[in-house]
Chain A
Amino acid sequence: GENVEQHPSTLSVQEGDSAVIKCTYSDSASNYFPWYKQELGKRPQLIIDIRSNVGEKKDQRIAVTLNKTAKHFSLHITETQPEDSAVYFCAASNAGGTSYGKLTFGQGTILTVHP
């Protein structure tokens, strides 16, 4: 099955700095890569996603890059703000396969943005 590794486990930055979180996946059939933000005790919120036919996607301060050959993808947050502080999870799935697009999550990154 799929295995997703996420690094770093914790990340501390100053407000205004950039933050980068990286994930690798093992199953070359995976073709959908979402990123979620989760605050304590809350549901995961989709912040951006990318599909395997695209190498990069950007939404305001958030961007995701995908390298299919190397099987890794990264989340980039620019101009970080204290409200960006949360746990971030990457995930991978084979959206068109027989597994109904089940997600395999990375271990999570605790991002802390200091004012």
Chain B
Amino acid sequence: GAVVSQHPSWVICKSGTSVKIECRSLDFQATTMFWYRQFPKQSLMLMATSNEGSKATYEQGVEKDKFLINHASLTLSTLTVTSAHPEDSSFYICSAKRWGEGTDTQYFGPGTRLTVL
């Protein structure tokens, strides 16, 4: 159990367009989901923490108006990259904590490769 999926797995878009990435917990309810960005050969950088029914908490330096996060249900969080530009090209990974598990474990999604032309 504890499977997290992401859709799409990869996306190519033109500069100026918006892209939505979905993160789903398939077999558990997730009270908290996290969104990370990983540039090539670099570490995972936390972008925001998302709690169901609440506004996301963004890390310093992450533009909340550019990276819109919605966590409308206990199994789904979405990240929308608005007006994407080439510098937004990256690997976006979500993770989820299982509600009621009482542990610190985060379950990671497979990631979404975004390429902005």
Smallest CB separation, B105 vs chain A (Å):
7
Contact B44 A100 (CB under 8 A): no
Task: Count A interface residues, CB 8 Å.
Answer: 24
- Interface residue count for B (Cβ, 8 Å)? 22
A44-B44, A45-B108, A51-B104 provided; 11 other pairs, C-beta below 8 A?
A34-B105, A43-B93, A99-B49, A100-B49, A100-B97, A101-B97, A101-B106, A103-B95, A106-B43, A107-B43, A108-B42
Chain A interfacial positions (CB closer than 8 Å to B): 1, 32, 34, 41-46, 49, 51, 89, 93, 95, 99-108
Query: Could you give 11 example pairs across A and B, Cβ below 8 Å?
Result: A34-B104, A34-B105, A34-B106, A44-B93, A46-B106, A51-B104, A100-B49, A103-B44, A103-B106, A106-B43, A107-B43
